[in-house]
Amino acid sequence: LAPADWLDPDCHVVVPLSPHPYEVRAAPQLAAAFGAQVEALQTFPGEVSGEPTKVVVVDSSPDTGFPDPAHGLVEHGFAMGQIIRQLGCASGLCLTQVASQLALGLRQSAIGPVEDSAGGTFGYQSDLAIAILEGYEAAAAASANQNIIINLSVGWDPETGGGAFSGSTWTGITDDNPAHAVYSAINQVVCSGGLVIAAAGNDSGGEAEGPMFPGGWEEKPAPLAGRCSADYGVSAMRTAVTPYQPLLHAVGGVDGRDKPYALSRPGGVPRLVAPAHHAVVGYPSGPSTAYTRTYSGTSVSAAVASAIAGIVWAYQPTAAPADVMQTLYDGGAGLTRGADFWLTGRPNTAQRRLSVCGS
């Protein structure tokens, strides 16, 4: 070859055109689009009569106290916490405070699953049950007479348990049953006066249809006072006005045009939906603003719902949890689609996309 043919250097400059690092440059624009779709507020109107609502994000982050989530080895729990924290703050006033509680404490290694106190990507159902109870108890101990939300941007496919019911009665094994342990933990939180919000689930490619658990338990009613006292030794629930009183409130996803999120599960969308596509939020980091990675999925939708519920509860501190969630539904943007699943015994209603401003 002639010298001119080989003097140009062979540069190692070919890269995959995946989102990162391009998503970093687009983060401010994505954050603005996400905030616009949920109709986030720049200032909160009127006077707030209550204290900031405590939201416990039971997820991938190490345990931490209020008011900000912790950042573990995996960002997921931190990002969900920041969605709740930042949507709940406007002009220096924060109506939500966030704590992290570790449930996903396993990460994959060359020798298989390894426990890591800094967090991981998955966890046992029994760990989730423990984290729900410990997170609620820590929040209650830190702030007496405070309204508490448990955010569950986590779940499992129904093939691995959770559907052993006859009506509202659990018919499967209860002793040493990990799925029942989660169900029992959620009941105890509700009996104690707490509010539980869960992701409806994403299509994982499996054969099962319908929502993931625990989100699918929106079909089950909240426990009555007598059962709370008998089974859990506590009955601190407030009397709700709305007849729609499920055990928990599941949240499905929509894209930026309020169309069904692409990975919605067949038969798995509840009456409450929220943005689930390319969510980014900014948060203070020293003198500047940092941004989360880009997230899609009903994890985001649940976090949005928890943020809005926290805001509403700060304005209405004596409201029953079910009435808080009814306020979210009433203030949402009406869609033309009915829910795929809902509280058994109540009529089906149209899906509504949640809105901070509308609520």
Q: For residue 15, tell me if it sits in a domain.
A: no
Contacts 24+ apart (CB under 8 A), 17-20: 19/294, 20/293
CATH number at residue 305: 3.40.50.200
Q: How far apart are CA 178 and CA 175, in angstroms?
A: 9
81-90, 143-152, 211-220, 327-336: range with lowest mean pLDDT: 143-152
pLDDT of residue 350: 95
ω into 52 cis (within 30 of 0)? no
pLDDT in tens, 226-235: 999 999 999 9
Q: How far apart are CA 138 and CA 125, in angstroms?
A: 20
Q: For residue 9, tell me if it sits in a domain.
A: no
State the burial class of residue 67 (Cβ atoms within 10 Å of its Cβ: 0-12, 13-18, 19+). middle
Q: For residue 40, tell me if it sits in a domain.
A: no
Q: For residue 41, tell me if it sits in a domain.
A: no
N- to C-terminal Cα distance for the chain?
72
pLDDT value at 6 more than 60: no
pLDDT of residue 15: 61
Give whole-number Cα distances, 128 to 91, 102, 183, in Å: 35, 8, 10
**Residues whose CB is less than 8 angstroms from the CB of residue 171 and which lie 6 or more positions away in sequence, other chains included:** 164, 165
Percent of the chain topping pLDDT 90:
76
Q: How far apart are CA 311 and CA 51, in angstroms?
A: 10
Q: How far apart are CA 109 and CA 24, in angstroms?
A: 28
pLDDT value at 11 more than 80: no
DSSP state of 269: -
Q: For residue 19, tell me if it sits in a domain.
A: no
Q: How far apart are CA 279 and CA 40, in angstroms?
A: 13
Q: What is the pTM of this model?
A: 0.92
> Structure tokens of 150?
């448990």
pLDDT of residue 3: 58
pLDDT in tens, 171-219: 877 777 899 999 999 999 999 999 999 999 999 887 889 999 999 999 9
What's the domain count of the chain?
1
Residue 236 has a CB neighbour count (10 Å cut-off) of 12
pLDDT in tens, 156-175: 999 888 988 877 788 877 77
pLDDT value at 280 more than 80: yes
Q: For residue 46, tell me if it sits in a domain.
A: no
pLDDT value at 281 more than 90: yes
Range of the domain at 164: 51-353
Q: For residue 32, tell me if it sits in a domain.
A: no
Dihedral in degrees, nearest 10, Cα atoms 43, 32, 273, 48: -10
pLDDT in tens, 19-60: 556 667 889 999 999 999 999 999 999 889 889 999 999 999
Average pLDDT score over residue span 319-325:
99
The angle formed by the CA atoms of residues 33, 22 and 290, to the nearest 5 degrees, is: 65
Q: For residue 112, tell me if it sits in a domain.
A: yes
pLDDT of residue 13: 64
**Average predicted confidence (pLDDT) for the chain:** 92
pLDDT band at 286 (very low <50, low <70, confident <90, very high): confident
Region of 354 on the Ramachandran plot (φ > 0 left; ψ -120 to 50 alpha; else beta): beta
